[in-house]
């Protein structure tokens, strides 16, 4: 849930304030963790990890929102790809250096280094905040509600009329949680896709070594080494995918790539589900999954600006991460229970793994069907948007001469100072293309679509709560088993 709350915070408070809040929370959690290690207090360390986790997921949403904000109109795919690669590269470096640091300088060194890096991120964030206005103006990035409110407060001492107008614009750009139900069928199909992607991507990467070892009778170290290649794709495929998305931004390239990804992962699951006496080796499935999963997480992010208005981007990104993690947690917990459904001391048998692989195949088919549904809904939305733009252009053409005449007459009779001059007017008072003078019809949802949105929102909440309940009950039961209570 912290990812969805991070998206709502970013939309309400702005990415600038939310980023410093998230990095501050991470630093606080890291300090608690370090102090707990120094004092030998496990509860203090646990509290530090909990606080640290509260900041990590919202920060990821804020980072993605900032990239979308600055690069939405040009180079979004490549920019997002390099942002995700930087995160994966940092994780890899951290994993590779933790043990050498411990061996050379002592077991507490990684905690000191992590705390220093967390403090450094706060300093860098403060530098970004000090330069944010200059960066936003230079890039021509869209202003957030918090930016407009700040400008309204600054102008209140000069002109109350301007300040009130700006406050109205800022209020329109703020996101209210109830408005999510009005985002339409396309958004909720996207949410369902995130749940299914979470179910078939992350759990399999964690279970693949066991599946390969059991199905192909490989040694444990050989199976683990083979399964490690599942995660080798993003470093090469993220930039390539980002380039393709930017190159084909006027075509449904994202949907096409999602279908390609789904087909490749489906081939991998079908290969694993077939009898090992036929397939002999897991290599084709490993290659297929590594390619299919290697670029697909990027697509779920760059798809967001295409399906929701600009002011909902941070909220949608938070919901995307929340539902993907919900699907992953839920299926991983249930698959763990399935593999553990045996007598004590027994190993999971072939039939159990077959059931698990059949479930992966079924979920992948459902995911592919959801992508096709998403494509149909996106086509309908694009068609309706084109019709709406055509109506607006006709309206503007019809009224251009009369409005020009009225403007000249008004200026000649009683010239007045405009509300905001030049670029300031378009910068602060103009809204999204979707919220322009004549709002396009596609964003006015029917009552039935709003009712479906409410039902889907309720269903998403139930899924999130179910994932938490199943995970906590399973953890409590397993810990009780270890302590001999069950």
Residue 471 backbone zone (phi > 0: left; psi -120 to 50: alpha; other: beta): alpha
CA 436/CA 455 separation, integer angstroms = 30
Alpha helices in 176-282 (DSSP H): 185-200, 202-215, 220-228, 234-247, 253-273, 276-279
Q: What integer pLDDT is reported at residue 43 of this predicted model?
A: 86
Contact 298, 84 (CB under 8 A): yes
Contact 62, 84 (CB under 8 A): no
Q: What integer pLDDT is reported at residue 56 of this predicted model?
A: 86
Q: What integer pLDDT is reported at residue 99 of this predicted model?
A: 84
Cα-flanking dihedrals φ and ψ of residue 190, to 5°? Answer: -65, -40
DSSP per-residue letters across 276-329: HHHH--SHHHHHHHHHHHHHHHHHHHHTHHHHS-GGGHHHHHHHHHHHHHHHHH
Cα-flanking dihedrals φ and ψ of residue 74, to 5°? Answer: -155, 125
CA 292/CA 257 separation, integer angstroms = 9
Report which of 36, 37, 1, 7 is spatially closest to residue 22, judged by C-alpha positions: 7
State how far the alpha carbon of 9 is from the alpha carbons of 13, 80, 194, 314, 480, in Å: 6, 21, 21, 9, 37
CA 345/CA 470 separation, integer angstroms = 24
Contact 195, 324 (CB under 8 A): yes
Local structure of 275: helix, strand or coil:
coil
The whole-chain average pLDDT of the chain stands at: 82
CA 381/CA 188 separation, integer angstroms = 14
Tokens standing for 405? 């005449």
Tokens standing for 386? 């084109």
Listed in sequence order, the residues at least 6 apart from 100 whose beta carbon sits closer than 8 Å to its beta carbon are none
CA 84/CA 78 separation, integer angstroms = 10
CA 319/CA 405 separation, integer angstroms = 48
Q: How many Cβ atoms sit within 10 Å of the Cβ of residue 111? A: 20
CA 96/CA 89 separation, integer angstroms = 11
Give the distance, in angstroms, between the CA of residue 480 and the centroid of all CA atoms in the same chain.
Answer: 35
pLDDT in tens, the chain (486 residues): 555 566 677 777 778 888 899 999 999 999 999 999 999 888 889 899 889 988 887 888 888 888 888 888 788 889 999 988 888 888 878 877 888 889 889 989 999 999 999 999 999 999 988 888 888 877 777 777 776 777 667 776 666 677 677 777 767 777 777 888 888 899 999 999 999 999 999 999 999 999 999 899 899 888 888 988 888 888 889 999 999 998 887 788 999 999 999 999 999 999 999 999 899 899 999 999 999 999 999 999 999 998 998 888 888 998 999 999 999 999 999 998 888 876 555 556 778 899 999 999 999 999 999 999 999 999 888 887 777 777 766 656 655 655 555 555 554 444 444 434 444 544 555 444 434 333 344 456 788 998 999 999 999 999 999 998 998 888 787 766 666 554
Cα-flanking dihedrals φ and ψ of residue 340, to 5°? Answer: -90, 0
State how far the alpha carbon of 383 is from the alpha carbons of 90, 133, 184, 242, in Å: 42, 37, 15, 25
DSSP state of 99: H
Tokens standing for 95? 């994993």
Give the distance, in angstroms, between the CA of residue 314 and the centroid of all CA atoms in the same chain.
Answer: 9
Q: Where do we find the tokens 């339409």?
A: 184
Q: How many Cβ atoms sit within 10 Å of the Cβ of residue 276? A: 15
């Amino acid at each position: 849930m912290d990812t969805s709350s991070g998206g709502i915070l970013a939309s309400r408070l702005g990415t600038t304030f939310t980023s410093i809040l998230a990095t501050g929370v991470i630093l606080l959690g890291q300090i608690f963790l370090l102090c707990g290690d120094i004092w030998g207090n496990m509860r203090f360390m646990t509290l530090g990890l909990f606080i640290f986790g509260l900041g990590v997921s919202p920060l990821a949403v804020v980072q993605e929102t900032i990239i979308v904000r600055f690069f939405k109109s040009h180079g979004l795919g490549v920019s997002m790809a390099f942002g995700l690669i930087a995160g994966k590269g940092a994780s890899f470096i951290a994993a590779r250096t933790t043990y050498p640091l411990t061996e050379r300088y002592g077991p507490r060194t990684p905690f000191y280094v992590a705390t220093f890096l967390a403090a450094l991120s706060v300093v860098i964030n403060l530098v970004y905040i000090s330069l944010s206005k200059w960066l936003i103006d230079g890039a021509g990035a869209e202003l957030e509600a918090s930016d407009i409110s700040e400008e309204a407060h600054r102008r209140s001492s000069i002109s109350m009329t301007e300040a009130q107008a700006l406050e109205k614009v800022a209020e329109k750009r703020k996101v209210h949680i109830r408005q999510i139900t009005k985002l339409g069928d396309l958004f909720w199909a996207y949410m369902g896709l995130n749940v299914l992607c979470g179910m078939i991507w992350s759990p399999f990467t964690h279970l693949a070594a066991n599946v390969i070892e059991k199905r192909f009778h490989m040694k444990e170290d050989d199976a683990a080494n083979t399964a490690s290649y599942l995660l080798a794709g993003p470093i090469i495929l993220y930039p390539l995918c980002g380039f393709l998305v930017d190159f084909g931004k006027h075509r449904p390239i994202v949907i096409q790539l999602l279908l390609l990804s789904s087909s490749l992962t489906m081939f991998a699951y079908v290969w694993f589900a077939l009898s090992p006496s036929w397939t002999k080796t897991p290599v084709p499935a490993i290659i297929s999954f590594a390619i299919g999963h290697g670029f697909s997480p990027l697509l779920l992010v760059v798809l967001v600006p295409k399906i929701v208005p600009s002011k909902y981007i941070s909220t949608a990104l938070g919901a995307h991460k929340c539902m993907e993690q919900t699907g992953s947690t839920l299926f991983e917990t249930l698959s763990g229970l399935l593999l553990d459904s045996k007598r004590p001391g027994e190993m999971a048998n072939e039939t159990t793994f077959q059931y698990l692989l059949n479930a992966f195949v079924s979920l992948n088919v459902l995911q592919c069907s959801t992508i096709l549904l998403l494509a149909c809904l996106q086509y309908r939305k694009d068609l309706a948007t084109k019709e709406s733009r055509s109506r607006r252009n006709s309206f503007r053409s019809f009224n251009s001469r009369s409005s020009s005449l009225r403007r000249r007459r008004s200026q000649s009779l009683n010239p007045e100072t405009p509300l905001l001059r030049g670029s300031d007017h378009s910068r602060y008072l103009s809204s999204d293309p979707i919220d322009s003078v004549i709002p396009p019809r596609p964003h006015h949802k029917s009552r039935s679509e709003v009712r479906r949105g409410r039902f889907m929102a309720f269903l998403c909440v139930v899924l999130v709560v179910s994932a938490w309940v199943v995970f906590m009950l399973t953890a409590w039961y397993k810990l009780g088993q270890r302590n001999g209570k069950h």
